[in-house]
Amino acid sequence: MPIITLTTDFGEKDHFAGAVKGAIYTELPEIKIVDISHSVSPFNIPEAAYIIQNAYSSFPKGTIHIIGIDSEMNIENKHIAMKLDDHYFICANNGIMSMICAEIAPEKIVEINIHDRIETSFPALDVFVKVACHIARGGTLEVIGKVIDSIKPIKNLMPYVNDEENQIVGSVIYIDNYGNVISNIKKAFFEKIQKGRAFEISARNYTFKKIYTKYSDVVNFDLPLEKRNDEGKSLVVFNSSNYLEIAVYKSNSQTSGSASTLMGLDLMDAISVNFINE
């Protein structure tokens, strides 16, 4: 029996996440359900895309991922199921899968068409659960939908490069639990445009001329502990997902501050990289 994961913006207060789990267990009592996150900012598609992209591949092949973000169906927001990288994804066709699909081509996409058999005002509960359980039992995608060949993209997902290729303009797509600010600039893309040149990274009034390998690289371990003053230092790294990230060493948004709070950076704010031609 495969695993079913849940990624939603339901939060922890309301009944929604629990109801979805209950409906799955009612159909498949032996299934394993894993919560990836229920704390996605409401209707934040780029944030959800970042989370699912960086979580799904840690699960076994054949895992089924329900993504309950902006899932109310309308004429511009249909429901899809997708097989990609030997995983299954069930979500709205609102661009949420375009970040993964930019790097890995889907094996199959269907537009779900079982709605005439289900009365619903809660698609993640009524439609997505039915589809997930169908797949978990070994059912094929064609039974629950018609095959389509493309999905809706997320606007402004990819960073912009000017014609001279001496500047990348990206944006903040995610702020993590530590208040670190993650851009949409990936390491491979950065290095492709950089071509070994020096650079200056700018975000609001802050500039950086170095990218560290890990957060603790800002610490001078040659100094005695009592003479160090490293907590609160700002830095740039390529994070574990290889996205350019602005961070504060040992940050805490609730106390000492973080990259987001101290620098005033929020979702969709610009982060630019200027390359220096010698």
User: Which positions ≥6 away from 33 have C-beta within 8 Å?
Assistant: 3, 4, 5, 6, 21, 24, 25
| Residue 207 confidence (pLDDT) above 80 | yes
Separation CA 222–CA 116 (nearest Å):
68
Express each pLDDT in 41-73 by its tens digit: 999 999 999 999 999 999 999 999 999 999 888
Domain with residue 82: its CATH number is 3.40.50.10790
pLDDT (0 to 100) of residue 190:
97
Question: What CATH code is carried by the domain that includes residue 257?
Answer: 2.40.30.90
Q: What is the mean pLDDT of residues 234-254?
A: 90
Q: 165 with 140, same domain?
A: no
Binned at pLDDT 50, 70 and 90, residue 278 comes out as confident
CA-based max dimension of the chain = 70
Residues 19 and 55 in one domain: yes
- Residue 72 has a pLDDT of 86
pLDDT of 42 reads 93
pLDDT of 217 = 86
Task: For residue 87, count CB atoms less than 10 angstroms from its CB and return exposed for 0-12, middle for 13-18, buried for 19 or more.
Answer: buried
Q: Is 7 part of a structural domain of the chain?
A: yes
Q: Quick one: pLDDT at residue 266?
A: 93
Q: How many domains does the chain have?
A: 2
As given in the structure block, the two tokens for residue 160 are: 């912009």
**Percent of the chain surpassing pLDDT 90:** 73
> Is 81 among the domain residues?
yes
Q: Does residue 154 belong to any structural domain of this protein? A: no
Residue 209 one-letter amino acid = K
What is the band of 119 on the pLDDT scale with cuts at 50, 70, 90? Answer: low
Please check whether residues 140 and 43 belong to one and the same domain: yes
Spell out a b/e string for 24-50, using b for 16 or more CB atoms within 10 Å of the CB, else e.
beeebeebebeebbbebeeebbbbbbb
pTM of the full predicted structure?
0.88
152 alpha carbon, distance to own chain's centre:
16
Instruction: Tell me how far apart the alpha carbons of residues 267 and 278 are, in angstroms, rounded to a whole number.
Output: 33
pLDDT confidence band for 116 (50 / 70 / 90): confident
Q: Which two tokens stand for residue 134?
A: 């169908």
Residue 215 has pLDDT above 70, yes or no: yes
Quote the domain boundaries for residue 180. 160-275
Check: CB of residue 82 under 8 Å from CB of residue 32. no
C-alpha to C-alpha distance for 70 and 97, rounded to whole angstroms: 13
Weakest mean pLDDT among 38-47, 185-194, 249-258: 249-258
Q: Give the model's pLDDT for residue 120.
A: 63
Pick the more confident residue, 154 or 165.
165
Q: Where are the alpha helices (DSSP H) in the chain?
A: 16-27, 45-55, 98-101, 123, 129-136, 187-194, 259-263
Task: Give the residue-averaged pLDDT of 103-119.
Answer: 87
If you average pLDDT over residues 149-173, what whole number do you get? 89
Average pLDDT, the chain: 91
Is 11 within a domain? Answer: yes
Region 79-86: mean pLDDT is 96
Clarify whether residues 8 and 140 are in a common domain.
Answer: yes
